[in-house]
Amino acid sequence: MNANTHISSKHAQVWLAALLTCGLSAPVHADEGDQPLGLASSVTLPPQAKGSPPAWAGKAFRQGVVSVANPYAAEAGAKILEQGGNAVDAAVAIAYALNVVEPQSAGIGGGGFMMIHMARPGQTVIIDSREEAPAGATPDMFVGQNFARRSLQGVAVGVPGMVRGTEKALKDYGRLSLSQVLQPAIALADDGFAATPRFVSSTACSSATSRAKNSPLAAEYFCPGGDFRAVGSLVTNKPLAQTFRQIADHGADCFYKVIPEKGCDIAKGIIEGQQYNQPNLTPIGKGGSMQLSDLEQYQAKLRTPIEGSYRGYRIKSMPPPSSGALTVLQILKMLERFPLGDASQGYGFGTPKTANVMAESMRIAFADRAVWMGDADFVPVPSKGLLANDYIKLRSDLITPGARLNPNPTADDPRPYETAGLMPATRLAVADPPISMENGTTHFSVVDKWGNVVSYTNTIESGYGIGVFAGYKQADGSFKNHGFLLNNELTDFNTTPTTNPFYDPAVPGFNDVQPGKRPRSSMSPSMMFNRDGSPLLAYGSPGGATIINSVVNVTINLVDHGMTLQQAIDAPRLSVASANASIAVDPWFPAATVDALRAQPLLYTVGLSDIGSVQAVYIDPKTGKQFGAADPRREGTVIGLPRSQSR
Ligand code: GLY
């Protein structure tokens, strides 16, 4: 598949036939030419236990590159770049297009973090459009509701942020209007697209517990007649096209406010949708408490990225309310003292020694994350202390190659490294709840011809969110469907109220529910920078708490193992997303290493599952050439411009 192939909704059937002939199991790569170098050069990817790394040669561009988890949405972004839009315009176009073609992962019913680097004046910011707890939310609102329950009901819905966030992005950093950049998404929703294999398989229509079937309307859309849609069949979403038109015509206010004279009624559909409960449950399910006032007051927030370094490479990533930057950088900094790239010392890619120290640093960082990270607008996250050199040394010193921390690591107290005079109190052993991998969340990256870069992770949390479309019953009894799924982001809060035992008297857990608070995220849109401050790489991933580890794996693959960008993404990943001794690895992780991790003396529990979906763009610092690489774990697509040319 040539990534330069033009894909329009009119040609969707033809495109899909070609796509299926070529196979979607392989990533859709640019086809030949220059290889973006790995950041080190001496180590090559060893043969993997199952298969070998896909051959890849990246094609170089100069007029912009998009790397997206879906080919139609990539096309939407490329089109906007061709129309004179910059990376921010393209990113907004992609985000709305993904709502149509990857609705299980993200959309206007959710929120995200858009990291933007503007080449002039050389500034990096993040627009935080994270969902927010409504004023009526309470710390105990999830008590007694297991994940299967709370994640499929209105109580889990946070005030959606994407529309305010994208409006702010365009206003402050874009070149085009909301109405212009929404056109590709409107066309996709109206004219339709050919169902991709992932669009179909994600629905799990044959399963009684399919999230896509949680409400009658969603069930009929994703599994018409109770069955899977055919791959390649035309999918339209006319109600969503109409919703997008309302936003295009009247701006974000038309999403957040009921304005009858302009026909703006989307907010009504959000309020009624989030009242959804599961009436057949005992005790009866729980709707949400969101009011129109919660929607009206929602604001996207401008954040400054947290900056750190790994072996000299400057990395910026997402601050609170995400745990992304703090945990990614803690893990990397703890690992800096180990020569991960040096096979002569038993390290190197995928060896038991490398896997062991990576797993231990993840466990230690996640123990801190569970206690110290949350929405810093509400709780005093010790961001400096968590990354202070002395604190990192204290934590890294817990790691002994060839051993496993037993009992599980606990949080320590970073506050003395941030603020003098505080004494550590009792430590707490904390394990996060099991993480649902599923289909929620998506990441894409964009660079434009001016050198502006976007790294954007967007989400409705679990696959299909609560599995309910926004919509409401009209006066005549008919149902007005707005065509987008509502998030279940509030499940990222602690389920049960906790306390932080480092405080005496104890204070509420940093990630407990509070009205107006944003739930702790793991989303880590990231960028790596050259010494002169110009961007080198934009990357990120979906995957719940495993997002953090996907970013860590790709960073190490580039810096320590000298892989090309595509190899770094394709290579099997290792993830530990709590203080527990349970490791997840991609199924093609070296089998001998998996055996060694399970055996004496380490005795880890190791499970196999796909981890993350990384989409990245890279700018060669010497030549300025632009490259993209996308993940075969989803339907990753790179389109570079101009389409006719490379190098
Ligand atoms: N929705 C994934 C996260 O925020 O971590």
Q: Which of 166, 243, 354, 441 is catalytic?
A: 441
The pLDDT of residue 18 is above 70: no
C-alpha distances (whole Å) from 513 to each of 136, 157, 437, 462 are 11, 12, 22, 18
- Tell how far the Cα of 401 is from the centroid of ligand 1, in angstroms: 31
- Predicted confidence band of residue 100 (pLDDT cuts 50, 70, 90): very high
Q: How far is it, in rounded angstroms, from Cα 335 to Cα 358?
A: 7
Q: What is the pLDDT of residues 219-262, one digit of tens each?
A: 999 999 999 999 999 999 999 999 999 999 999 999 999 999 99
- Tell how far the Cα of 519 is from the centroid of ligand 1, in angstroms: 9
For residue 419, the model assigns a pLDDT of: 65
Instruction: Please choose from 522, 548, 551 the residue to mutate so as to test ligand 1's pocket, defined by most ligand atoms within 8 A of CB.
Output: 522
- Tell how far the Cα of 249 is from the centroid of ligand 1, in angstroms: 30
Q: What is the pLDDT of residues 470-517, one digit of tens each?
A: 999 999 999 999 999 999 999 999 999 999 989 988 899 999 999 999
Q: How far is it, in rounded angstroms, from Cα 385 to Cα 316?
A: 17
**In this structure, what token pair is assigned to residue 295?**
């929607």
Q: Tell the burial category of 292 from Cβ atoms under 10 Å away from its Cβ (0-12, 13-18, 19+).
A: middle
Q: How far is it, in rounded angstroms, from Cα 365 to Cα 410?
A: 9
For residue 7, the model assigns a pLDDT of: 32
Q: What is the pLDDT of residues 19-33, one digit of tens each?
A: 333 322 223 333 334
- For the chain, the first-to-last Cα distance in angstroms comes to 19
Q: Which atom of ligand 1 lies closest to the CA of 547?
A: 5
Q: Whose CA is nearest to atom 4 of ligand 1?
A: 521
Annotated active-site residue 593? The verdict is: no
Q: What is the pLDDT of residues 551-573, one digit of tens each?
A: 999 999 999 998 989 999 999 99
Q: Which atom of ligand 1 lies closest to the CA of 460?
A: 1
C-alpha distances (whole Å) from 300 to each of 112, 114, 123 are 10, 11, 19
Q: What is the pLDDT of residues 104-125, one digit of tens each?
A: 999 999 999 999 999 999 999 9
Q: Whose CA is nearest to atom 2 of ligand 1?
A: 544
Q: Whose CA is nearest to atom 1 of ligand 1?
A: 461
Instruction: Please choose from 114, 461, 464 the residue to mutate so as to test ligand 1's pocket, defined by most ligand atoms within 8 A of CB.
Output: 461
Instruction: Please choose from 366, 489, 493, 541 the residue to mutate so as to test ligand 1's pocket, defined by most ligand atoms within 8 A of CB.
Output: 489
Q: How far is it, in rounded angstroms, from Cα 556 to Cα 564?
A: 12
For ligand 1, which residues put their CB under 6 angstroms from it?
Answer: 440-441, 459, 461, 492, 521-523, 544, 547
**In this structure, what token pair is assigned to residue 362?**
């993840």
Q: Whose CA is nearest to atom 3 of ligand 1?
A: 521
